[in-house]
Homo-oligomer: A and B are copies of this chain.
């Protein structure tokens, strides 16, 4: 079950990397299609899954919405915009947050944690100001 570096896999990986964004499968599909028009959405899904399993990209499951994929597989937290759903990387925010002690409270064995900071991104703040002043 070794990984083959197919053309589509290479392009998917490259497009995600050069985007420097946290794309959802369909957004990445749109980008990849411009380079390889006959690629299928299923292939994009399959490869994103495989690549994240292989630790070459990160998988983000945020806020009940679509999954997003991170060009940076290293461990870090995220901040996301409630208006446009854009996601950005954050330095690890859990200094002093020892997950273990919470497990003890309820008898869980703790394996990790997931932290999302929620807010409005700079772009959406600007748009909103415009909207306000139009009123």
Contact = CB atoms under 8 A, between A and B. Distances in A.
Contacts of A112: 117-119
A85 to B, nearest CB: 13
A117 B125 contact: no
B88 A106 contact: yes
Interface string A19-57: 000000000000000000000000000000000000000
| List of 4 A-B pairs having minimum Cβ-Cβ separation, nearest first | A61-B64, A108-B119, A107-B122, A110-B119
Given A63-B114, A79-B102, A108 B96 contact: no
A62 B113 CA distance: 12
A98 B90 CA distance: 14
